[in-house]
Structure 1
Amino acid sequence: MGEGIMRLGFVQVRVTDLEGARKHYVEIMGLQETARTEDAVYLKGWDEYDHHSIVLRKSDRAGLEKMAFKVHTFEDLDKLEKNLQHYGASIKRVSKNENFKVGEGVQFKLPSGHTMELFVDMEYEGKALPQVNPAPWPDGLLGVGAPRIDHLLISAEKPHETIDFLMKALNFHMSEKVVENEKSETPIAAWLFRSYTPHDIAIIPGKDEGLHHFAFWLDEFNDLRKAGDVFSKNDVPVDVGIERHGITRGQTIYYFDPAGNRNEVFTGGYIAYPDMPVVKWTVDQLARGIFYFNHRQEWIEGFTGVTT
């Protein structure tokens, strides 16, 4: 795990009302605004040290503009670039500061049409806590007080092609997958990781270039309950929750930002290792895999069908 992709670096999402989105992510989610330009706002959680993990970009529609993963070294970046070309990706070099406060990197498209970037360096901002003798959490957190970004889930018309590409070209590991039946191996959906969480990215069936959600980590279940209170106090549209996933074992609330991008607050789950056996879910048990508490099929179709 000490080489190649390290973790999810940032997601860049389109929002229709930049100020409305900024207020949501700062005042309700408790993120820190690190910079603002004419058409973008840069945000980070209190427990993140890079300059940003979320970029909000003004647009006429919601959705994912791009995702960027942080790589350990420039040597790793060169190796991954060669591997991407070997697997047929068309590479565009990204120069330093082409992404605000981010060093040079590479950009390419997944088979699903999503834009992905890899980078090594981002300007250091520092956590909201000191590095010497820190308290467990900073004073003055607003709303949910989300510490960091955790993962994202995208949709694809042919999920297995994007899953295969991420695993072969970028060395992602699979923690769990959905298959037709117990004897099937071809994934209908999959949860992939490069760090130690059950997923840094997941892929489900749906439209190409679709964003199902991106998620914020919360440290414990009580934080999830508090998030539910905060959403209700602020009339945030909640999609599902509090729920539990069979897949990943995480506990969750799904909700929408003002532009209609689905977000998630997520806690629990397990530590994932590259050598762990892949967990299989058969389609007939998928409802339980997604919502362990309320596994009603009609919920699942509405939930998985709505993307931006």
Structure 2
Amino acid sequence: MPVPAPNLYPDFNIVRLSHVEYRVQDLAKSRAFYVDTLGLQVTYEDQDRIYLRAMEERGHHCIVLVQADNSDVGVLGFKLFDDPDLDKAAAWFASKGLPVDWIERPHMGRTLRTRDPWGVPLEFYVKMDRLAPIHQKYKLYNGVKPLRIDHFNMFSADVDASVAFYNEMGFRTTEYTEDAETGKVWAAWMHRKGGVHDVAFTNGKGPRLHHTAFWVPTPLNIIDLLDLMATTGWVDNIERGPGRHGISNAFFLYILDPDGHRIEIYCSDYQTVDPDLEAIKWDLKDPQRQTLWGAAAPRSWFEHGSVFEGADLKESALKAQPIIAP
């Protein structure tokens, strides 16, 4: 099934992905991972939660770590262009029969909370507390030197349906994988901000969050992180990589936080701002689609994901499968 034509004039204007809330069972251990090891900067913390930002970000946070009894995902956040877009988004979600709630969020202005048709918790806002720039405070650069949040990848039980819904919201497809036997889309990458993706969908039991990705300066920063993790007690949290993706052309590493939430470290994809950019199609059986070079992905990469709070899981009817490492 071909991906839909891009919707260049959506009902409301999403600028980019913004933040994720992870619920974690040991806040101190998560702090050691995200701050001491990865190098994200603390913008606020108390006994219940920690707010973090990356080095180039002016918004107050891109990750919120919340002390909880369960390890799951509270919400995915997106920034809208201006205040009227919030009301337009509320009307659009309501027209789909989806929940619309106006909530109070620390460090954020008026915030719309909703869910997509499969139960993924989403929130939209226009204004977040702005902080002083730190991108030239080089003494703060630690760990993998994360510059900014880059994308979310989600398991979907129906990738074609997910692509159609998010396309209607204005996300444009840059690359996709098709199963030649069924004609169905097995995975797709969709953007708003002009990179390869803000959101992606991978076939599997869903909805679940496959990973959140952070952009770093160079592949050498990823090598430095591997050395650091191997010598500070985190070696078993290295899941896949380093390597280079065929899709997106990005140099990558996948690691797991103490609760099993997957983080991708990512650099060197390409610009996609042209509105008439054609989506690149890959065959599911092409071994270079997921790994241009490097070891094949392990089984855990296809099966393990983080559940969304309050979402019901559904098995995918599409059983096609790419190459899995032994």
TM-score (ref. length: structure 1): 0.89
Aligned residue identity for 1:252:
F
2:50 alignment partner, one of 41, 44, 51: 41
Q: How many pairs are equivalent?
A: 294
Cα distance per residue 1:9-37 (max 9 Å; x no partner): 11101111011101211111111111113
Alignment of 1:12-51 (within 5 A): 12-51=21-60
Does residue 266 in structure 1 map to residue 262 in structure 2? no
Q: Decide whether the 8 Å contact of 1:114 with 1:208 is kept in 2.
A: no
Structure 1: how far apart are the matches of 2:245 and 2:21?
A: 26
Report the Cα distance in structure 2 between the residues aligned to 1:220 and 1:159, rounded to whole angstroms. 31
Paired residue for 2:76?
67
Q: Does structure 1 retain, via aligned residues, the 8 Å contact 2:43–2:60?
A: yes
Alpha-carbon deviations, 1:70-123, whole Å to 9, x = none?
0110112222222223333222222xxx21111112111112321011100001
**Structure 2 SS opposite 1:248:** helix
- AA of the residue aligned to 2:129: E
User: Following TM superposition, by how much is the alpha carbon of 1:146 offset from its aligned partner in structure 2, in angstroms?
Assistant: 1.1
Q: Does 1:178 align with 2:180?
A: no
Deviations 1:124-160 (A, max 9, x none): 112214xxxxx4x621322222122111111122222
1:125-274 pair list within 5 angstroms: 125-129=131-135, 135=136, 138-168=138-168, 170-181=169-180, 184=183, 186-236=184-234, 237-273=237-273, 274=275
One-letter amino acid of the counterpart of residue 159, structure 2: P
Contact 1:63–1:211 (CA under 8 A) maintained in structure 2: no
Identity %: 28
Q: What residue in structure 2 maps to residue 10 of structure 1?
A: 19
| Inter-partner Cα distance in structure 2 for 1:295 and 1:87 | 43
Q: Which position in structure 1 is the counterpart of 2:111?
A: 105
How far, CA to CA, are the matches of 2:121 and 2:194 in structure 1? 24
- Describe the SS at the equivalent of 2:228: helix
Displacement after TM superposition at 1:42 (Å): 0.4
- The gaps in structure 1 that reach 5 residues or longer are 130-134
Contact 2:145–2:217 (8 Å) recurs in 1: no
Q: Which runs of 4+ in 1 moved over 6 A?
A: none
Q: How far apart in 1 are the matches of 2:305 and 2:80?
A: 28
Instruction: Note the C-alpha offset of 1:182.
Output: 9.0
Q: Distance in 2 between matches of 1:24 and 1:183?
A: 42
Asked if the contact 2:90–2:100 (Cα under 8 Å) also holds between the matched residues in 1, the reply is yes
Closer/same/farther in 2, CA of residues 247 and 113 from structure 1, 3 Å limit: same
How high is the TM-score relative to the length of structure 2?
0.84
Letter in structure 2 aligned against 1:114: V
CA contact (8 A) 1:11 1:64 kept: yes
Counterpart secondary structure, 2:248: coil
CA distance in 2 between counterparts of 1:159 and 1:112 reads 11
1:132 aligns to what?
none
Identify which of 115, 122, 126 aligns with 2:128.
Answer: 122
**Which residue identity is paired with 2:111?**
G
Question: Structure 2 CA distance, aligned partners of 1:267 and 1:40?
Answer: 29
Q: Counterpart of 1:283?
A: 284
Q: Is the 8 A contact 1:91 1:108 kept in 2?
A: yes
Offset of residue 38 of structure 1: 3.1
Change (3 A) 1:88 1:163: farther
- The 8 Å contact of residues 87 and 165 in structure 1, kept in 2 or not, is answered as no
Q: Which amino acid aligns with 1:72?
A: F
Q: Does 2:87 align with 1:89?
A: no
Mapped to 1, the partners of 2:67 and 2:205 lie a distance apart of 23
Gaps of 5+ in 2: 1-7, 307-326
User: What is the SS of the residue equivalent to 2:87?
Assistant: helix
- Residue 111 of structure 1 aligns to which amino acid in structure 2? P
Secondary structure of 2:51 counterpart: strand
- What is the DSSP-based 3-state SS (H/G/I as helix, E as strand, rest coil) of the residue aligned with 1:214? strand
Q: Distance in 2 between matches of 1:292 and 1:8?
A: 26
Deviations 1:218-264 (A, max 9, x none): 12222222222222222321001111100111010101111111111
Equivalent-residue separation in structure 2 for 1:292 and 1:207 (angstroms): 26
Counterparts of 2:95 and 2:280, CA distance in 1: 29
